[in-house]
Chains A and B, each alone.
Chain A
């Protein structure tokens, strides 16, 4: 019996990528399937079947570590398009149960099911019908959390996996979560935990009892969120897909097959990443102002560096020019590089920006901002358009920047 309102449901597909692979190839059923990285590669585990989890394999772990823990594991390269297609089919199914469906990620969705009782009876009955349809039409299982807010629903769905259902009101949240360590909250990582523990805040209950202004003072905006999360008072709205706020950033990163020791290859790889990010931005109609890079050395130490430009852009050459300056010179010389990433944030939709022409500006050789009105830059814009139209017609791999050819 659900006694709260609104009634928010979080659906989390169980080991989604691995489950799709097992559905496609039933011979993999019951085996430790590990998706991501691929055989002999150095990537990262995207997800794995529950059989692989028994060996300690987890999402985000390096493939090498997963191989060590589970040598008999079946490593499969990520088939992202297949997962995206399955995800789109799932979103269609979810849309039959509520008009308000917010895709939360490729394998998660949030539904506002307030007021659906007349159609389905209780929320529990709705969940049973939805799970049955997902199982029968897609051959997949999901875990569901029902709560009065998005955040609590997300926490609830993780409590009874796989193929589970958990209903959690605010009193139950306090009862279950207050005694738990702070990192039981979704979004609290190792460094935040350390920082909280250092201040004598160990449990979710301790965090909830801490003055929100103090948390804001220590952690900034995320301090406010910590306070809201720990008290279970999140009241953020469930957005339909078409009403969702714009993406806040776009990024691309790659773990290289062999550690990079050559600055030329670092340059080629950053150019390749900038091209991928810029292309996605143009496809989505975005321009962005803050360009950042992520560099991981062979000893796994990771740095991120960011720089904001005066006017937003969607051009590869501008993103690359700033991104490469952000990569410290000693990488590729003194330190070998394992992973590189490029991100553009502070995104805006082009139509929201007004005078788009203002966006095509960049730093000149003297480090000053200038308007992009000269011929050379107009040419770059035309070239970008031409490359886009070739890729639109013949695919992403049909034409590429010569400077990326050294990228491994």
Chain B
């Protein structure tokens, strides 16, 4: 099942072909390497935008990462737990 969260993370991002592509992130001191960005979309919160990325790490774990343009900060917004 999905677990919603709002955990701050640090993210390394590639800007490639006019798109943002997160490549790895650090959460609670551990670094996760992203093997695939499986989906991306945006939500508008008033005049600001939050970009969401569905990603899978190299151990096939699913995460939803969200970048808040107003705060210029990243959070893990959702994880999949078996």
Contact = CB atoms under 8 A, between A and B. Distances in A.
Interface of A: 20, 23-27, 39, 74, 76-77, 81-82, 84-86, 139, 390-396, 398
B47 A81 contact: no
Interface in B29-67: 36, 38-48, 52, 54, 56, 60, 62, 64
Central interface residue in A23, A25, A139, by most chain B CB within 10 Å: A25
B42 A393 contact: no
Contacts of A395: 44-46, 48
Nearest to B60: A27
Contacts of B46: 390-396, 398
Contact of B39 (A20, A76, A393, A396): A20
Contacts of B48: 395
Given A82-B52, A395-B45, 19 more contacts: A20-B39, A24-B39, A24-B64, A25-B54, A25-B56, A25-B80, A26-B56, A27-B56, A27-B60, A27-B62, A74-B1, A82-B39, A85-B41, A86-B41, A390-B46, A394-B45, A394-B46, A395-B48, A398-B46
A81 B42 contact: yes
B2 interface: yes
Nearest to A83: B41
Contacts of B64: 24
Contacts of B60: 26-27
B80 A393 contact: no
B57 to A, nearest CB: 11
Interface string B9-40: 00000000000000000000000000010111
B41 A81 contact: yes
A116 B61 CA distance: 44
B38 A393 contact: no
B54 to A, nearest CB: 4
Contacts of A77: 2
A396 B48 CA distance: 12
A27 B79 CA distance: 12
Contacts of A139: 38
Q: Which 6 A/B pairs are nearest by Cβ-Cβ distance? A: A85-B41, A24-B54, A395-B45, A395-B46, A24-B39, A394-B46
Nearest to B64: A24
Contacts of A82: 39, 41, 52, 54
Contacts of B2: 76-77
A225 B14 CA distance: 54
Contacts of A39: 1
A26 B47 CA distance: 32
B18 to A, nearest CB: 14
A81 B39 contact: no
Given A39-B1, A74-B1, A25 B43 contact: no
B38 A86 contact: no
A23 B1 contact: no
A26 B38 CA distance: 8
A391 B44 CA distance: 11
B42 A392 contact: no
B15 to A, nearest CB: 19
Contacts of A27: 56, 60, 62, 80
Given A74-B1, A82-B52, A25 B42 contact: no
B32 to A, nearest CB: 15
B39 A392 contact: no
12 contacts: A24-B39, A24-B62, A25-B54, A26-B38, A26-B60, A27-B56, A27-B62, A81-B42, A81-B43, A85-B42, A395-B45, A398-B46
